[in-house]
């Protein structure tokens, strides 16, 4: 029997959470021993995982900056996780105090934590919803109260789509979101891939196995597969590229990047 929509998920902090693992990779302490244990295991196969997370954060920062400079000041960040530092609202509101940010996550601990962090910020909300049910996100009253979907929105799907299995049809979910956004909207996306990891697929596969064991399978997709998420959107220069190559701050900065930061693709698309 399928769980009814109104029956909430239980909270079990004895199970590792990808949000808290992410926080651990970034040196945070918003995590529990189970999270750290799983993260350490994953790092046995990919010691550079923290660098991958850092590259994601760095891309997000550059892409949000790009969005604000191109006039988009509404942000919908799905899979926002545990807010640590350099969050979307910090970056965006530093550039434009009027910027509005709606965070979405399905991890109730991450949601509760975000609520605490965002308290007092009138232009940022967190909603508990699931990327796999885009209608729930689009119909969420808090999000709709904050964002005007008739105006361009920057949709952030940073390091989240690789946690959606094909069985849950991520393409349909993203398509539904893309279609709901106004012209001029942006899609900011990163996604893990075997292409670019400075390891053999066999070794990197160890990390994938860890995520599978904690029931949060990590779905590696090829560049071609990832590019399909942008269907109908125009790619912003330089297109879908390894994370560090997306509009690097300087050629020198690019030259000094850690090889692990190439473990995935990043891109920004615009709705015509």
Q: Does 116 bind another protein (CB under 8 A)?
A: yes
Q: Does 106 bind another protein (CB under 8 A)?
A: no
Sketch the per residue contact string, 68 through 97, with another protein: x for CB under 8 A, - otherwise: --------------x-xxx-----------
Strand 154-157 versus strand 74-78 pairing type: parallel
Task: Give the E-state strand segments of 131-199 in sequence order.
Answer: 154-157, 186-191
Cα–Cα distance for residue pair 269/188, rounded to 1 Å? 7
CB atoms within 10 A of CB 14: 7
Q: Does 213 bind another protein (CB under 8 A)?
A: no
CB atoms within 10 A of CB 99: 22
The answer to whether 204 and 210 are in contact (CB under 8 A) is: no
Q: Which is nearer to another protein, 215 or 272 (CB)?
A: 215
Q: Does 29 bind another protein (CB under 8 A)?
A: yes
Q: Which is nearer to another protein, 80 or 185 (CB)?
A: 80
The answer to whether 242 and 201 are in contact (CB under 8 A) is: no
* Min dist. Cβ of residue 181 to another protein (A): 26
Q: Which stretch binds another protein (CB under 8 A): 52-60, 133-141, 188-196, 233-241?
A: 52-60
Strand 74-78 versus strand 100-105 pairing type: parallel
Q: Does 140 bind another protein (CB under 8 A)?
A: no
Query: Which residues in 147-176 contact another protein (CB under 8 A)?
Result: none
Cα–Cα distance for residue pair 213/73, rounded to 1 Å? 39
From 38, 58, 63, 104, residue interacting with another protein (rule: CB under 8 A): 58
Cα–Cα distance for residue pair 19/80, rounded to 1 Å? 8
Give me the residues that bind another protein (CB under 8 A), please.
1, 6-11, 13, 20, 25-32, 50, 53-54, 57-58, 60-61, 82, 84-86, 108-113, 115-116, 249-250, 252-253, 256, 258
């Amino acid at each position: 029997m399928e769980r009814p929509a109104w029956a909430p998920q239980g909270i079990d902090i004895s199970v590792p959470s990808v949000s808290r693992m992410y926080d651990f990779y970034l040196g945070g302490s918003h995590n529990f021993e189970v999270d750290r244990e799983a993260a350490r295991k994953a790092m046995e196969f990919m010691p550079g995982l923290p660098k991958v997370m850092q590259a994601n954060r760095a891309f997000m920062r550059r892409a949000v900056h790009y969005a604000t400079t191109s006039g988009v000041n509404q942000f919908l960040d799905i899979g926002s996780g545990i807010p640590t530092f350099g969050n979307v609202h910090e970056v965006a509101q530093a550039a434009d105090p009027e910027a509005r940010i709606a965070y979405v996550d399905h991890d109730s601990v991450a949601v509760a934590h975000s609520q605490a962090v965002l308290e007092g910020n009138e232009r940022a909300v967190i909603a508990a919803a699931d990327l796999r049910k885009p209608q729930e996100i689009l119909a969420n009253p808090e999000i709709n109260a904050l964002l005007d979907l008739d105006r361009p929105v920057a949709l952030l799907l940073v390091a989240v789509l690789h946690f959606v299995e094909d069985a849950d049809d991520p393409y349909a979910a993203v398509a539904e979101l893309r279609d709901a956004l106004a012209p001029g909207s942006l899609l900011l996306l990163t996604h893990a891939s075997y292409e670019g990891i400075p390891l053999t697929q066999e070794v990197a596969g160890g990390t994938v196995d860890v995520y599978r064991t904690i029931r949060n399978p990590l779905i590696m997709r090829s560049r071609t597969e990832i590019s399909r998420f942008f269907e109908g959107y125009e790619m912003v220069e330089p297109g879908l590229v390894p994370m560090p190559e997306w509009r690097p701050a300087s050629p020198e900065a690019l030259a000094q990047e850690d090889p692990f930061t190439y473990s995935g693709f990043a891109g920004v698309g615009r709705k015509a």
